[in-house]
Amino acid sequence: MSTTSTPPPVLSPIVDEPVPQPVRWGDAELERLAAMVKQPSLFYYNGPQTNALLTDFRKHYPFKNLFPCSSGTASLHIAVGALRLRPGEEVIVSPITDMGSVIGVLYQQGVPVFADLDPRTYNMDPGSIRRVITPKTRAIMAIHLAGNPCDMTAILAIAKEHNLAVIEDCAQSWGSRHQGTPVGLMGDFGCYSFNDFKHIACGDGGIVGTNSERYGAGLSKWGDKCYDRAGGTRDPEELAPNYRMSEPQSAVCVAQLGKLDDIVARRNRAGSLLTSLLQDLPGVLPPVTREGNYHSYWFYFMRIDPAVLKCTRAEFVAELRAQGVAANAGYIPMPVYRYKVFQNHNFFGGAWPVRDCGLTTMDYRQVSCPVAAAILEDGITMPLNQAMSDRYIEKVGRAIRTVAERLAK
Ligand SMILES: *Cc1c(COP(=O)(O)O)cnc(C)c1O
């Protein structure tokens, strides 16, 4: 990254107020927790808080089978486990995501295969997905980045054609909809995170759902040591981790779900407004939401063209910050396949059993997704939340416009 030349001090920045911060917890959470401490047990199975979570979650996401769990990472691992992924089988993933998307695949001895991205939505490009399909491909993980839905029409068509399962990683996309359908309901599994940073949160938690006849029966066992809670027997047929949710987490999640629609509507309004304010601005490429899709803006992710702006990204971000915009250069530091753990195939104490046993020839040092790499090189992220008024967003838009128009002259 180039060194930042500090822009001249701005006496009255256009964004003349700190980033608005929402109040995230309050009476609704307290009421739930107060009722909870009177319970004799805090165990999830048949727990009143967890049962309420299941009921309320279904109002937003009508899944037949659900398992509330300890994190978004756990929800994805449970999906991969319930799929009965076999060692060496491949799951197609995005190179711009959280490690949580790939952790479960690797623990099940599967092989994450990286597809490249659409340059404007930052989601997997269907053409690239097709190019990385092999006889070992078992599933596509559709990761709806930043709240922007993937092209599920194309992904489901590819999956059908090649008989692949689809796992939707909805950790960043609470409330997002693809052609009217909430994300998570279109694939075989929908996976969600309640970690502290997501739209709604309980500190750490997650939930996974499926409407599939084939995978539904195994879902809950897959996050609970393969114990059969309903039958009460203890003779596990398979190896499965303990990823259970607990009552304190569920209590907070129920209260949070009550706020979901409002949070999502406000974020969509703020994000859409900012995108509209950045149209036709030289050198600035706001994110694109495909026609008919609904973006819930977990954060705001735009790109720039440094050639048009005649400056580096670092310089542009410094100018934005001088105008009071909470802009950050980039998102994750590099595509996931470039992380040390992948470059060294250091998945299990320095070894990678599936490769050592000849079940895969994958070499992550050879992987290249040029669009993903470019997005991370010229991308700029900004916080976006439900406390941001139109007036605040208008200031942010005006600041970006002022800086870009001056530089692009
Ligand atoms: C946050 C996140 C996860 C993991 O969720 P945790 O609850 O932190 O384990 C997975 N995928 C994506 C895209 C995420 O943003």
Strands (E), 221-299: 284-285
* Cα 76 to ligand 1 centroid, rounded to whole Å: 9
pLDDT band of 198, cuts 50, 70, 90:
very high
| Greatest Cα pair distance in the chain | 73
Q: From the CA of 143, give the closest atom in ligand 1.
A: 13
Neighbours of 405 (CB within 10 A): 14
Q: What was the pLDDT predicted at 6?
A: 66
Token code pair at residue 332 = 């994750």
Does residue 9 have a pLDDT over 80?
no
* Tokens describing residue 358: 């000849």
Q: If you measure from the C-alpha of residue 201 to the centroid of ligand 1, how many angstroms do you get, rounded to a whole number?
A: 12
Predicted pLDDT at 232: 84
pLDDT above 50 (res 249): yes
Burial of 222 (0-12, 13-18, 19+ CB in 10 A): buried
Question: Does the beta carbon of 98 lie inside 6 Å of ligand 1?
Answer: yes
pLDDT average, residue stretch 392-400: 98
The best mutation among 93, 94, 98 to test binding of ligand 1, ranked by most ligand atoms within 8 Å of the C-beta, falls on 98
User: 318: which 2 tokens?
Assistant: 């410094």
Residue type, 303: R
Model pLDDT for residues 338-395, shown as the tens digit of each residue = 999 999 999 999 999 999 999 999 999 999 999 999 999 999 999 999 999 999 999 9
- In this prediction, residue 1 carries a pLDDT of 47
Picking from 393, 63, 36, 395, the residue whose alpha carbon sits closest to that of residue 245 is 36
Question: Does residue 169's CB lie within 6 angstroms of at least one atom of ligand 1?
Answer: yes
303: three-class secondary structure by DSSP: strand
Task: Identify any residues that bridge with 124 across adjacent strands, giving them in sequence order.
Answer: 117
CA–centroid distance, 171 to ligand 1, in Å, is: 5
CA distances from 83 to 324, 354, 363 (A): 47, 18, 24
Cβ atoms < 10 Å from Cβ of 280: 6
* 3: pLDDT strictly greater than 70: no
100 lines ligand 1 (CB under 6 A): yes
Copy the structure tokens of residue 260.
């979901």
Radius of gyration of the chain (CA): 22
pLDDT at 4: 55
Burial of 290 (0-12, 13-18, 19+ CB in 10 A): middle
Report whether residue 193 contacts ligand 1, using a CB cutoff of 6 Å.
yes
**Cβ(283)–Cβ(407) under 8 Å?**
yes
Ligand 1 mutation pick, 69, 75, 168, 172, max ligand atoms within 8 A of CB: 172
Rounded to 5 degrees, φ, ψ at 119 are -70, -15
Pocket flag, ligand 1, residue 97 (CB < 6 Å): yes
CA distances from 27 to 30, 47, 260, 342 (A): 5, 21, 16, 44
Give 1 or 401, the one with higher predicted confidence. Answer: 401
Task: Look at residue 5 in the predicted model and tell me its pLDDT.
Answer: 61
142 Cα to the center of ligand 1, angstroms: 13
Any idea where the domains of the chain sit in the sequence? Answer: 27-259, 260-332+372-407
Q: Is the confidence at residue 291, as pLDDT, over 90? A: yes
Residue 247 scores a pLDDT above 50: yes
- Return the percentage of the chain with pLDDT > 70, whole number: 98
Is the model's pLDDT at 281 over the cut of 50? Answer: yes
- How far does CA 337 lie from the centroid of its chain? 17
Report the pLDDT value the prediction gives residue 11, as an integer from 0 to 100: 74
The amino acid that residue 191 corresponds to is C
Q: How many angstroms separate the CA atoms of 266 and 264, rounded? A: 5
pLDDT recorded at residue 115: 98
Retrieve residue 292's tokens. 């008919």
Architecture of domain 27-259 in this structure? 3-Layer(aba) Sandwich (3.40)
Q: Kindly report the CA angle at 107 between 143 and 218, in degrees rounded to 5?
A: 75
Q: Which CATH superfamily is domain 260-332+372-407 in?
A: Aspartate Aminotransferase, domain 1 (3.90.1150.10)
pLDDT of residue 30: 98
Angstrom distance (rounded) from CA 367 to CA 355: 16
**Residue 26: its pLDDT value, please?**
97
For ligand 1, atom 10: residue with the closest CA: 100
Closest ligand 1 atom, residue 298 Cα:
15
**pLDDT tens for each residue of 131-152:** 999 999 999 999 999 999 999 9
pLDDT tens column, 14-54: 999 999 999 999 999 999 999 999 999 999 999 999 999 99
What pLDDT, on a 0 to 100 scale, did the predictor assign at position 147? 98
Distance 287 CA to ligand 1 centre (A): 21
pLDDT category at 218 given cuts 50, 70, 90 is confident
Average pLDDT, the chain: 96
Interior angle at CA 338, CA 332 and CA 340, nearest 5: 100
Q: What is the pLDDT of residue 308?
A: 96
Pairing of strands 90-93, 137-143: parallel
pLDDT in tens, 74-104: 999 999 999 999 999 999 999 999 999 999 9
Helix/strand/coil for 158: helix
Distance CA 370, CA 60 (A): 37
**Token duo for residue 228:** 């059969």
Ligand 1 pocket test: which of 80, 145, 167, 169 has the largest number of ligand atoms within 8 Å of its C-beta? 169
Give the distance (Å) from ligand 1 centre to CA of residue 193: 6
